[in-house]
Structure formats: C-alpha cells, structure tokens
C-alpha cells in the first residue's frame, strides 16, 4: 500500500520537484496549492485560510493515514523593517507561518492515531543567518525552524518526527522573481546579478530544486527515523563562511 504525503505549495519550484519525486517513489501525494497542477492529486487551497486547510486535510485523513507532511507554501518579500508595512508583514506571516501552523495542526491527529509520522517544514538558510533587506522573510523562516523544533519535542512520544530543511539560494521561479524585482528597482543587469549570486556560493553555483527534494525524501523515510528537531541546511556551504 502506498504511503500518503501531503504537500503545501506543490505546483512550482521546490514544491513541484518534491511532488514529482515522491510520486516516483510510490507515494500517494496530495498537493495543496492555489495554482492548478497535473502532478499528484491537486487540492485547490489557500493556506492562509486555516479552516480550509483543516477541512481538506481532514477529508484526506478520513480516507487515508497521513504518513508525511511537507509544509512548503511560502512567498518571498524583500525590505528592511522601516520599509515593511503592517499589511506586508501580515501577508508574509499568513502564508509562510500561519499556513504551516494550519497544516501541521491538521495532520497530527492522523499521525498520532498511527503512532508514526514525518513532518518537514521548508525553512531557509535565513533561519540561521541574516541577510540584508529581509526583515519579514527572515522572521517567518526562523519561525518555521521553531515550529519544527517544538513539534519534534511535543510529539516524539507519538513517534512523530519534525524537521526543518533550510535551503540556501535555489534556482526556482521564486528566485527569478526576486532577481527580476531587484533589477527593476536598481536597473542592474539580470545576467550579471545571476552570476554574482552563483559566485557567492562556496560551491560556485546555485542549488537546484531536485537537490532539495532528495533531502526531503530522505528525511521522510525510515532511513532518517532517528532524526528529529533538526535544521538541515542545504546551501552549497554559504552559512559555513
């Protein structure tokens, strides 16, 4: 029988790579996203709506035992604290943090009943370090790391593991959108900015979504059954500097 994996934000970027990899590895994957996708079983969902997330996950749990949750839905926002409005702060937190809260809380009853489960939150290298003009985003990703650690301690008694994956600079649509926004504001050349970003990584290139997906697949598997409460960095050595 296939294991069941719920992924939020699985229609593009790292999320899409994870959906495809888990399907390839014989998981039944439910993708909760606003944007339609033909990969996995698509469930249209606004992760900022807690009751909607809860209803969809409860519907899944009524038919299946949920083995894995990957909380991936998120947005990027670039600004320092002075240039971050209350509305922008709320938007980042509603998607990045409240969405994770809703998904984690909703899968726990199924996992507790099965006395088993793996929860992976897609955080960021910014859970460990700061970056310029990243007040709200950095704050939200640090919160996800905290959710992983507290959930790991609170639910270890039920054999539920929780970990955060902390990617560095990964070449996704979100990355290209951020670069485009920067170039529009600054007038910089995109090719030059892209090359500069790659050069900042000790390994000399940007990460790829499928590399993050492989790490997440490992953390979801029984091969990682003694790993919980951890922050797993995948950043080409950036935070080691």
Structure tokens at 91: 């938007």
- DSSP character at residue 18: H
Helix (H) or strand (E) holding 119: strand 117-122
| Nearest-angstrom CA–CA distance, 18 and 170 | 14
Identify which of 115, 24, 17 has the alpha carbon closest to the alpha carbon of residue 66.
115
Q: Given 27, 101, 137, 182, which residue is catalytic?
A: 137
CB of 115 closer than 8 Å to CB of 158: yes
Q: Which long-range contacts (CB under 8 A, 24 or more apart) does 19-28 make?
A: 20/213, 21/210, 21/213, 21/214, 21/216, 21/217, 22/68, 22/217, 22/220, 25/217, 26/2, 27/2, 27/3, 27/67, 27/68, 28/2, 28/3, 28/4, 28/64
Whether 175 is catalytic: no
Buried b (16+ CB within 10 A) or exposed e, 1-26: eebbbbbbbbbbbbbbbbbbbbbeee
The set of catalytic residues is 137
């Amino acid at each position: 029988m296939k294991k069941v994996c719920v992924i939020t934000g699985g229609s593009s970027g790292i999320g899409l790579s994870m959906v495809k990899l888990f399907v390839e590895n014989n998981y039944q994957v439910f993708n909760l996203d606003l944007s339609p996708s033909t990969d996995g079983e698509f469930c249209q969902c606004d992760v900022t709506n807690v009751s909607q997330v809860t209803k969809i996950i409860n519907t899944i749990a009524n038919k299946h035992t949920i083995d894995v949750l990957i909380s991936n839905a998120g947005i990027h926002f670039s600004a320092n604290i002075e240039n971050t409005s209350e509305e922008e702060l709320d938007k980042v937190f509603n998607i990045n943090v409240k969405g994770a809260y809703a998904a984690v809380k909703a899968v726990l009853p199924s996992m507790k009943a099965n006395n088993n489960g793996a929860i992976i939150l897609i955080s960021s290298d910014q859970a460990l370090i700061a970056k310029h003009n990243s007040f709200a985003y950095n704050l939200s990703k640090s919160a996800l790391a905290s959710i992983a650690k507290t959930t790991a301690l609170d639910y270890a008694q039920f054999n539920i593991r929780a970990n955060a994956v902390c990617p560095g600079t990964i070449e996704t649509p979100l990355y290209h959108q951020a670069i485009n926004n920067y170039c529009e504001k600054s007038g910089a050349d995109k090719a030059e900015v892209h090359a500069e970003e790659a050069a900042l990584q000790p390994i000399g290139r940007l990460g790829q979504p499928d590399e993050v997906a492989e790490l997440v697949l490992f953390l979801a598997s029984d091969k990682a059954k003694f790993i919980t409460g951890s922050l797993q960095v995948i950043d080409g050595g950036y935070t080691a500097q």
